[in-house]
A and B are shown apart, each in its own frame.
Chain A
Amino acid sequence: MTATPKIEVRGLKKRFGAKVVLDGVDLDVAAGESLVVIGGSGTGKSVMIKCIIGLIRPDAGSIRIDGEEVTGLDARGRERIMARFGMLFQGSALFDSLPVWENVAFGLIQGRGMKRAQAKEVALRKLAAVGLGEPVAALFPAELSGGMQKRVALARAIATEPEIILFDEPTTGLDPIMSDVIDDLIINCVKDLGATTISITHDMHSARKIATRIAMIYGGRIIWDGPAATVDRSGNPFVDQFINGRADGPIVMEVRPL
């Protein structure tokens, strides 16, 4: 590989108490790529992307964004890097004290210091891009359905036009049709922005649709990684078991027999 990867993760480790969650993750993401990380619940997917964006401080390892080491940054450096990121949270994480448009405009008003009137215009455009009209903009998040909340959260994540967007289980908890709508919106929004994205999911339908590359995390490490089209002939028994959703295989769930 000649060009510097957009995101370069080396030897990332994190433990909570005695529980080792990440045990030396190595990962490269090229600019403009859409990487989907698959893996079962509790395998450290969420912790990994929270380390990358800086919400969790890793115990060891290196994370470089455009070649710049970001693990040891102070608060101000962290804020500077954060301005280049967007993130869609699993539970949407909308601010329930603010109306929808202010949620979308939040990064522009608070992070960029944009005037409220101008930020509102941008917010309305972004809401339109995810298929939500002006009447929705004045509502509060609690008044929306789960799918609408997800779309608002997507609009918020792309409002500042970040270079890197992280999606934490974007389709979990949605019906299959709404999941597909969200997948389409993610593909379109990312294409428009030319952003680099990392998504984590255990929804294989969604993974196949949005990924250009797929990686699988198991036991705190990346155990397989390759172009999305080759996931079906990975030759890796762990990946095969996961994408076919079989209970028997090398991955053993810790379930006590009935």
Chain B
Amino acid sequence: MGFLAAIGRATLHLLTACGSVSLFAAQAIAVSFRPPWHGRLIARQMLEIGYYSLPVVGLTALFTGMVLALQSYTGFSRFAAANAIPSVVVISITRELGPVIAGLMVAGRIGAAMAAEIGTMRVTEQIDALTTLATNPLKYLVVPRLIAGLTMLPLLVVVADVIGVFGGYIVSVHKLGFNPASYLKRTFEYLKVMDVVSGLVKAGAFGFLIALMGCYHGYRSKGGAQGVGAATTQAVVAASILILLANYFVTEIFFSRQ
């Protein structure tokens, strides 16, 4: 019986969490349409998420593209399909690896920072202080981060796509002996607009989820330093899991249209 009770408790816990996250998101979206809009704060968050994440995302994308070319070659050359490598690299990067790698890196970098900052503000009563100064904390803290996440991650993924494809190109041309011109030609030969667009839609969804998890867990944290630490961990874990789940569902939506 204890076993069944444990399952029931876990299920209820999960449903409660889903409900309160949805409510939190709905409240934040609702206030985002009412003025005043905090342009300065949105710009600062965009800089933080977009610009300062470039080195991390660029570096991981570069090596992902490189290893992708190398691995595909070991497999494909066994049945003389090495010519397919440029297409495999570009389609894998734009549809799948660009958004997921960028999403996971940003979840670690930004999701954690958001949860820690907002969580500290919560436990030091700074969020209460915002309210007493006639400022809506959801609008002041959460909305700028959601907007920045939603808009900046697609831009990061465009950069990650380019760098990832470039990584594949470097390895193919300098290590595997491909002809540079024909590699580039083959890269774009089978690439469709939808491949890139689906990747960018994923990126937007991931960016929103990362910011939502960071803000939600920070906002709900309690109990001092330990609570903030727990909130930070939960934000990163939840964002990473949601990215991988959302990745499947967005893929399925685009896949079933073809």
Contacts and interface: CB of A to CB of B under 8 A. Distances in A.
Interface of A: 50, 53-55, 75, 79, 82-83, 85-87, 89-91, 93-97, 106-107, 110-113, 156, 160
Contacts of B133: 82, 106-107, 110-111, 156, 160
A245 B124 CA distance: 29
B125 A90 contact: yes
Contacts of B134: 79, 82-83, 107, 110-112, 160
A75 B136 contact: yes
B223 interface: no
Contacts, number: 56
A95 B126 contact: yes
Contacts of A112: 134
Nearest to B129: A93
B22 interface: no
B136 A89 contact: no
Contacts of B129: 87, 89, 93-95
Interface of B: 36, 117, 121, 124-126, 128-136, 140
B135 A86 contact: no
A89 B125 contact: yes
Given A110-B140, A113-B36, A93 B135 contact: no
B129 to A, nearest CB: 4
A156 B133 CA distance: 9
B140 A93 contact: no
10 contacts: A86-B132, A87-B129, A93-B129, A94-B126, A95-B129, A97-B117, A106-B133, A107-B133, A111-B135, A160-B133
Nearest to A79: B134
A113 B133 CA distance: 12
A53 B133 CA distance: 11
A75 B27 CA distance: 11
A86 B131 CA distance: 10
Given A110-B140, A113-B36, A55 B132 contact: yes
B128 A89 contact: yes
Given A93-B124, A93-B126, A110-B140, A87 B132 contact: yes
A16 to B, nearest CB: 11
A231 B140 CA distance: 44
Nearest to B139: A110
B141 to A, nearest CB: 11
A55 B124 contact: no
Contacts of A111: 133-135
Contacts of A160: 133-134
Contact of B132 (A75, A85, A90, A94): A85
B17 to A, nearest CB: 18
